[in-house]
Chain A
Amino acid sequence: MNLPLFCPIPISDPERIQLAHGEGARLTRRLIREELLAAFSNPFLAPLADAATLPDLGGRLVMTTDSSVVSPLFFPGGDIGSLAIHGAINDLAVSGAEPMYLSVALILEEGLPMETLRRVIRSMKDAAQACGVSIVTGDTKVVPHGEADQLFICTTGIGRLRPGADLGAHRVRPGDRILVSGTLGDHGLAILGSREGLEFGDQLCSDSAPLHHLIAVLLSSGANVRFMRDATRGGVAAVLHELVEQSGLTARLYETALPVSPAARGACELLGLDPLHIANEGKLVAVVAEESADAAVAILQSHPLGIHAAVIGEATSALPPQVLITNPFGQLRVIDEPSGAPLPRIC
């Protein structure tokens, strides 16, 4: 059945997203009310106005935005919904802010099963609730079939800066230690396994997690934390390249110190990949003053999300700004900036 492009009468398949759901009229309102408001319910969202009016935060505002375009939508250890929530929360947390409010913009592909959308919304609701943040405003658009890969999510987060927090590359000094809160590459390998059908099953799970609590514990401990990032696409290597560029110092790692889970190790060996270049979604990279490093690692290790925390290197001014690693044979070499998606090496 061929319908003209702009048909005012909705095609009847209530179990799938239709273009009309994004037109701002009856179906949109119903979608928002029945699916989104019901899930995210809170007083700021309830009026369903064009914007949310928030109370005075009583501190400096920190704001971030994040897009989730992960495929597949559901993977071992998480899904696009929880990823979107955690991503925004983590960006705020590593900036020294307490995450408070989120906005959610959905871009849906015509034909997306309602059940899929509900699953994602449920996941977002659970993640937000577990983190104590409210989703206070949002937007929904629908694009024709084929013009978006099922579902994209954009989240913007607002938080309140912790009093006294001053984090950034400008604070990093030679001799500072580079820490990571846990094992490298878990998320990227889980996605790669799911996407390329590599039969990893549940052996490799995404590490998608909110880091704000872990970070709060670290910052409250009095450790002299200079700089933080959550390692996402491009892995720890990408974070360190950013650090080097912004600080003008060199980051030097020790290969034997990198925490990697046995399954991730096996996968990297099998596929010829370097865990430093593979995405994480729930790992903190922190630069702390040398004298704080041991205590900081201990603090992280005492938290469930940081049990494999380790010092992996240091900042130095002895060499021009670059990211280096000492391999197990004592040889120093350059770590490249990650470029594009890693592909399994075969031959």
Chain B
Amino acid sequence: MCLGIPGRLVERSPLADGSLTAGLVEFDGLRRSVCLELVPDAAVGDYVVVHAGIAISRIDADEAERLLQHLRTMGETEFPAETAS
């Protein structure tokens, strides 16, 4: 369902024998180690969605921006008095 929070990947941990790929993810001011096994393409600086200590997706920043742009301009023709955000 489930609580998945986006955080910024700040560090990929070096691999140790027999261990899972892990890294350090920052959530606002808080850093926590997260398993990166399921997002091999995530690079430092990317944002990932973390659930139960595991990153389950890499956030597509372009898609995110596209949606926000769409929402910000939605209804602009009907509300000409509104200032652009």
A touches B (Cβ under 8 A): yes
Contact (Cβ within 8 A) A270 B52: no
Interface size of B as a range: 10 to 19
Q: Which residues of A contact B72 (CB under 8 A)?
A: none
In the complex the two chains form, is A263's CB within 8 Å of B1's CB? Answer: no
Total number of A residues with any Cβ neighbor in B under 8 Å? 18
On whether the beta carbons of A261 and B52 are closer than 8 Å, the reply is no
Question: A residues within 8 A CB of B5?
Answer: 269-270
Task: List the 3 closest A-B pairs by CB distance, nearest first.
Answer: A262-B29, A266-B30, A263-B29
Instruction: Give Cα distance in the complex from A265 to B33, angstroms.
Output: 17
Choice from B3, B30, B31 contacting A346 with Cβ under 8 Å: B3
Asked whether B66 is an interface residue with its Cβ less than 8 Å from the other chain, the reply is: no
Contacts of B52 in A (CB 8 A): 346-347
Cβ contacts under 8 Å, B30 to chain A: 200, 203-204, 262-263, 265-267, 270
Residue of B with least CB distance to A345: B3
Q: Which residues of A contact B26 (CB under 8 A)?
A: 266
In B1-24, the 8 Å CB interface with A consists of 1-3, 5, 7
A345-B30 Cα distance, complex, nearest whole Å? 17
Q: How far is the CB of A293 from chain B (nearest CB, A)?
A: 28
B29 and A266 form a contact (CB under 8 A): yes
The listed residue (A261, A272, A345, A347) touching B29 by CB distance below 8 A is A261
Cα A204 to Cα B31 with chains together (Å)? 10
B5 to chain A, nearest CB (A): 5
A209 to B3, CA, bound (A): 33
Cβ-closest chain A residue relative to B6? A269
- Pair A265/B29 contact, Cβ less than 8 Å: yes
Interface residues of A in 260-293 (CB under 8 A from B): 261-267, 269-270, 272
| CB-based contact A203/B31 at 8 Å | yes
* A199 touching B1 in the complex, CB below 8 Å, given contacts A266-B27, A346-B52, A347-B52: no
Chain B residue at minimum C-beta to C-beta distance from A347: B2
Contact of A270 with B32 at beta-carbon distance under 8 Å, contacts A346-B2, A347-B1 already known: yes
User: Are the CB atoms of B1 and A269 closer together than 8 Å?
Assistant: no
Tell yes or no: B28 within 8 A of A by CB: yes
Contact check, B29 vs A200: say whether CB atoms are below 8 A apart: no
A199, B29: Cβ atoms under 8 Å? Answer: no
- A–B pairs, 27, beta carbons within 8 Å: A200-B32, A203-B30, A204-B30, A262-B28, A262-B30, A263-B29, A263-B30, A265-B28, A265-B30, A266-B26, A266-B29, A266-B30, A267-B30, A269-B27, A269-B28, A270-B3, A270-B27, A270-B30, A270-B32, A270-B50, A272-B3, A345-B3, A346-B3, A346-B52, A347-B1, A347-B2, A347-B52
User: Is A198 an interface residue, CB under 8 A from the partner?
Assistant: yes
- Please give the distance in Å from B55's CB to the nearest CB on chain A: 13
* Minimum C-beta distance from A105 to chain B (A): 37
Which residue on B lies nearest to A261, using beta carbons? B29
**Minimum CB–CB distance for A176 against chain B, Å:** 32
Bound-state Cα–Cα, A270 to B1, Å: 14
- If A263-B30, A270-B30 are given as contacts, then 18 extra A-B residue pairs at C-beta distance below 8 Å, sorted by A number, are A198-B32, A199-B32, A199-B33, A200-B30, A203-B29, A261-B29, A262-B28, A263-B28, A263-B29, A264-B29, A265-B29, A265-B30, A266-B28, A267-B30, A270-B27, A270-B50, A272-B3, A346-B3
Tell me which of B3, B28, B50 contacts A347 (CB under 8 A): B3
Residue among B28, B30, B31, B50 with most chain A CB within 10 A = B30
Chain B positions 22 through 65: 1 when the CB is less than 8 Å from some CB of chain A, otherwise 0: 00001111111100000000000000001010000000000000
